[in-house]
Amino acid sequence: RQPMGVVGVIAPWNYPVQLALAPAITALAAGNRVMLKPSELTPHTSAQLALLVAQFFAPDVFCVVQGDANLSALFASLPFDHLVFTGSTAVGRKVAQAAAQNLTPTTLELGGKSPCIIDGHCDMQDAALKIAHGKLLNAGQTCIAPDYVLLPRGREGEFAPAYRAAVVRLFPTIEGHADYASIITPRHHARLRPMLQQPQPPGAE
């Protein structure tokens, strides 16, 4: 909201345009200069951002820095006047520690757990549709996507079929649809697959 000097922005991969440009725009509008470090997991988007920003801004006003996780660590250690980071709690800790060496003020937007609470008077079909939308948007790759549902005892049996119907309504074809989002990398996909089997041995359905 005010000019502080040079603002660093470290953007995540799950919303590589929005979460790169929104903090950059607000920093510029307040009279700051900006250095942006987009995610290395979205190289084509990052390259396009660098190209477009260089067309319209002098490099000492707004620039895009591309590179891997090592460069991100170096970027976080620069003596910015303010540093903005969006991403995981684990990486956020490292960013905060690096920024602390320079007493750099930081804004951290970190992922966490997001429960959905369904009360006894709720329309289960409506709730399930809204929860499915929030959970599956961007292939579930959203930091505030619902993680679990809390509902009145005795109504557990209503939620599962309502949620299943909501998913089918939102995603009528399961595979091969060009408009569906994908999991960002094979490594992330491999991490998710075992989670499908994880609850079964303890007896979960």
Burial label for 99, CB within 10 Å (0-12, 13-18, 19+), is buried
The question of whether 116 is a catalytic residue gets the answer: no
Nearest to 94 by CA among 103, 185, 85, 19: 85
The average pLDDT across 160-184 equals 87
Residues 16, 39: Cα–Cα separation, whole Å:
7
The average pLDDT across 33-52 equals 97
Residues 17, 9: Cα–Cα separation, whole Å:
12
pLDDT band at 176 (very low <50, low <70, confident <90, very high): low
Question: What would the pLDDT profile of 115-169 be if each residue is shown by its tens digit?
Answer: 999 998 999 999 999 999 999 999 999 988 998 999 999 888 999 999 999 999 9
Model confidence at 203: pLDDT above 80: no
What is the average pLDDT score of the chain? 92
Higher pLDDT, 37 or 189: 37
pLDDT band at 204 (very low <50, low <70, confident <90, very high): confident
Predicted pLDDT of residue 178: 79
DSSP result, 6-59: EEEEE--SSSTTHHHHHHHHHHHHTT-EEEEE--TT-HHHHHHHHHHHHHHS-T
Model confidence at 61: pLDDT above 90: yes
Tokens for 106, please give them: 């930081």
pLDDT band at 72 (very low <50, low <70, confident <90, very high): very high
List C-alpha distances in Å: 78 to 74, 83, 95, 178.
Answer: 7, 9, 11, 40
What is the share, in percent, of the chain residues with pLDDT greater than 70? 99
Tokens for 120, please give them: 């006894």
Marked catalytic residue, from 109, 116, 122, 158:
109
Residue with tokens 């960002």: 184
**Lowest mean pLDDT across 9-13, 33-37, 160-164, 173-177:** 173-177
Model confidence at 193: pLDDT above 90: no
Strand partners, 87: 110
The average pLDDT across 192-197 equals 84
pTM of the prediction? 0.86
Question: What would the pLDDT profile of 82-95 be if each residue is shown by its tens digit?
Answer: 999 999 899 999 99
**Within its chain, how far is the Cα of 152 from the centroid?**
30
- Angle, helices 69-76 vs 89-100, to 10°: value is 40
The question of whether 109 is a catalytic residue gets the answer: yes
Marked catalytic residue, from 63, 116, 122, 143:
143
pLDDT band at 182 (very low <50, low <70, confident <90, very high): confident
pLDDT band at 81 (very low <50, low <70, confident <90, very high): very high
Higher pLDDT, 180 or 202: 180
